[in-house]
Amino acid sequence: MTSQREVERLYEKLMHDVATKEFYTDIDLANKVNCYVCEECQHITKTKDVDPGVTPFMFTCEVCKATATSTFYTDIAQDCKPTIEWYRPSLKETLKLRKDQGTLDHVLRGGLIDRKCKEAKTSEKQLVFVLELNDTKAIYLDLDCLCDALKMEWESRPDSDIIEEEFKVYGKMMTAKEIDELPEFDGF
Ligand SMILES: [Zn+2]
């Protein structure tokens, strides 16, 4: 395994190159959009570079996980927004890559690594739990919260109040954006 000190030394050298060498300083990041075409399902995974650096020719299809190949920065999906971004990891992140020698070497030679774009992340759906009484709904992000809320609700009411009272409980898929936009809820 490459020593921590060696990674720090190479990373510092890389930072120097990124700041001074034309290979990095001459790149116009505004137009660094690439497309990876899946060999299996033909889906196009669209990416953008947010740092100057090297990206791989092969990638993994975001839909079926098969191999997808680069169009060499030709945008063949102009109506689609990139879902993946290529970025340069921080020194701290790079040190964590010591367990993965191939990726570590790639990064220290100026390579970028991938992560989901923020916008794409907020449109990803997650399971939430809905507690509904009459027309009032409350959304809980995990089952424990739902149970706590239900318990509190039932314990705080006189018995006569909850007889025959039907609470509806169900799961629902929501995006982070939809959850953010929910009106503040102040209980039943
Ligand atoms: Zn595919």
Distance, CA 66 to ligand 1 centroid (Å)? 5
CA of 116 to the centre of ligand 1 (A): 17
How many structural domains compose the chain? 2
Q: 11 and 98: one domain?
A: yes
Q: What is the dihedral of CA 60, 173, 77, 65, to 10 degrees?
A: 10
Domain containing residue 32: 4-121
Summary mean pLDDT of the chain: 90
Q: What is the mean pLDDT of residues 134-156?
A: 87
Q: How far is the CA of 59 from the centre of ligand 1 (A)?
A: 10
Tell me the pLDDT tens digit for each residue of 169-185: 999 998 877 887 777 65
In a domain, 156, yes or no: yes
Residues 161, 103, single domain; the answer is no
User: How many CB atoms sit inside 10 A of residue 73's CB?
Assistant: 13
CA of 31 to the centre of ligand 1 (A): 25
In a domain, 61, yes or no: yes
Of the two residues 153 and 46, the one the predictor is more confident about is: 46
Based on the domain organization, do 21 and 84 belong to the same domain? Answer: yes
Q: How much distance in Å is there from the Cα of 46 to the middle of ligand 1?
A: 12
pLDDT grade for 165, boundaries at 50, 70 and 90: confident
Same domain as 75, residue 146:
no
Report the percent of the chain where pLDDT is more than 70. Answer: 96
User: Which of 104, 121, 138 is a domain's end point?
Assistant: 121
Instruction: Examine residue 187 and state whether it is found in any structural domain, yes or no.
Output: no
Hey, what are 133's tokens?
Answer: 């009484």
Q: Which residue has the higher pLDDT, 163 or 92?
A: 92
**Domain shared by 101 and 42, yes or no:** yes
Measure 45 CA to ligand 1 centroid, in angstroms: 9
Distance 4 CA to ligand 1 centre (A): 37
* pLDDT band for position 30 (cuts 50, 70, 90): confident
Main-chain dihedrals φ then ψ at residue 16, nearest 5 degrees: -65, -45
- Among the candidates 90, 105, 121, a domain finishes at 121
Please check whether residues 110 and 166 belong to one and the same domain: no
Q: Is 101 contained in some domain? A: yes
Domain shared by 82 and 131, yes or no: no
CA of 71 to the centre of ligand 1 (A): 15
Percentage of the chain modeled with pLDDT above 90: 62
Predicted confidence (pLDDT) per residue in 47-102, tens digit: 999 999 999 999 999 999 999 999 999 999 998 899 999 999 999 999 999 999 99
Count the alpha carbons within 13 Å of 149 in the hemisphere toward its beta carbon.
21
Q: For 118-129, what is each residue's pLDDT tens digit?
A: 877 777 788 899
Instruction: Indicate whether 130 and 116 sit together in one domain.
Output: no
Where among 121, 142, 165 does a domain terminate?
Answer: 121
Predicted pLDDT at 184:
62
